[in-house]
Amino acid sequence: MKFDMGETTLAVLGKNTAGSSDDLGTLIRALVQSAEPLEGKFNGAGKATFDSFKLRADEITAALNSSLASILGGQAGMDEAFGTGTQEQSDNAHKNMGAANFQAARFSG
């Protein structure tokens, strides 16, 4: 199995995820606002659940944003690890090529 990823893939993914974090809070607030016309139509457990969601919207947003921040941290760590690995691989290849005795590998014939 071959895994091939461009050098900027994780950086671009991180930027997109950061933008999603901002959008998420806006979407949750929009959901609460768009459901307000239905507020008087809920009864029983449905009303209690809706009221709880509405009251906890900021808490839910903060928890989701915290989770996204952790994802961003993981992506940044992976990006750094891939970058470091690529550089180390290049450095090792150059070092080993410099130490190789190519003359000994020649075939005379």
pLDDT digits (tens, 9 = 90+) for 64-100: 888 888 888 888 888 888 888 888 988 888 888 877 7
Q: How many CB atoms lie within 10 A of CB 14?
A: 18
Cα(89)–Cα(16) distance, integer angstroms: 28
- 10 CB burial (10 A radius; 0-12, 13-18, 19+): buried
List of domains in the chain = 9-89 (1.10.287)
pLDDT at residue 4, as a whole number: 64
Q: How many CB atoms lie within 10 A of CB 61?
A: 17
Model confidence at 109: pLDDT above 60: no
Helix (H) or strand (E) holding 28: helix 9-35
